Amino acid sequence: MSLLSRRSFLGAAALGSLGLVAGRTLSADPMPAGAAGDALTIGYVPIACSSPLLQADASGAFARRGLDVRLKKYAGWSELWSSFLTGQLHVTHMLAPMAVTPTSRPTTLAYTLNTNGQALTIASDLHSEISGLPDLRGRVIGIPFEYSIHALLLRDALVNAGVDPVADLELRLLRPADMVAQLEVGGIDGFVGPEPFNQRALISGAGRVLHMTKEWWDRHPCCSVSMGTDWLDAHPAEAALITDALAEASAFLNAPGNHAAAAATLSQEKYLNQPAALIEPVFEGRYRTWQGDEVVDPERIHFGDATDPQATAWMAEQVSRWGLA
């Protein structure tokens, strides 16, 4: 599918932050404090994509809506998904393709946390050898999960560049937190992954950004808050309040004047556990290109865009295309 046609997926939708969710509309009508019931554990992986979820917790957006939310941090996607599928979690941070993949537990993608915000980072010492995707033949590139927008977009971009993503290179599963360390010791030649790990590689000098994934599909969805459809059907009011709190947090994060404060808050150990100096440039859109140019792109990452059914359809098609369903 061409870049232009993928862009058209996102351009058509204007559903709003509390809009269509698997054929239903969530209404964020006020609910008396305490009416939300028992504490709700929401899982997440500590990457910048989860920022609206973390900001909603830090700012009290959940609590102000009468929700008793407890966040639970997971090191990787396999552990988180297992907890969700076995009913230990009912609401969780998910890579958007996970939410549209058929599983034993029907899942509703309730809120798109972010669009853009990912990059293909290549080892700096390969700068003279690599100028584009065709030069990745024979290389080892880390991916965070098979069911990630990172892996799906990279495979699609490689095919468009005449590279077979199965036969011509190795795509190696790595937890996001392990990507930079593997790059530094030469275990991989690069990785396509979330922030702030691309930024960490840039600052350390271990890597340089060959492509922002937004170059392949601008405003592509990445992460979501998804819910077990069984839980959503039983708790529609709570679900609406959760997405309403996320919309408030997203608006805060998107405002340029809040980037420094948000980075400081989310740098805490209980949230991203990363230096604010790595997080703030991501929010501001500052980075160094493969050619060495310092740029500022305010759309490097954006939070809370409408969930587009056509974009979710593209992800489902790609999951099937690569035999992941």
Distance separating alpha carbons of residues 99 and 85, to the nearest angstrom? 11
pLDDT of residue 133: 98
Q: Which DSSP helix (H) or strand (E) runs through 234? A: helix 229-234
Same fold, 3-115+221-254 and 118-215: yes
118-215 classified as CATH 1.20.1300.10: no
Distance of alpha carbon 89 from the chain centroid: 19
Q: According to the model, what pLDDT value does residue 289 have?
A: 95
Q: Tokens representing 153?
A: 């977009």
Handedness of CA 49, 53, 56, 57 (dihedral sign): negative
pLDDT value of position 325: 87
d(CA 191, CA 111): 26
Mean pLDDT of successive 10-residue segments in the chain (325 residues)? 37 32 40 57 98 98 98 97 98 97 97 98 98 98 98 98 98 96 98 98 97 97 98 98 98 98 98 98 97 95 94 96 94
The Cα–Cα gap between 57 and 248 comes to 11
Angle at 105 between CA 103 and CA 108, to 5 degrees: 95
Report how far residue 48's alpha carbon sits from residue 266's, in angstroms, rounded to the nearest whole number: 9
The sign of the torsion formed by the CA atoms of 160, 161, 164, 165 equals: negative
Q: Where are the beta strands (DSSP E) in the chain?
A: 20-21, 24-25, 40-44, 69-73, 91-95, 107-112, 114-116, 118-123, 140-143, 170-173, 190-194, 207-212, 223-228, 286-288, 294-296, 301-303
Question: For domain 3-115+221-254, which CATH number applies: 1.25.40.10, 3.40.190.10, 3.40.50.720, 2.40.50.140?
Answer: 3.40.190.10
Query: Where exactly are the structural domains of the chain?
Result: 3-115+221-254, 118-215
Q: What's the half-sphere exposure (Cβ side, CA atoms, 13 Å) at 67?
A: 27
Name the pTM for this structure. Answer: 0.89
What sign has the CA pseudo-torsion 146, 325, 73, 248? positive
Which pLDDT score is estimated for 308? 86
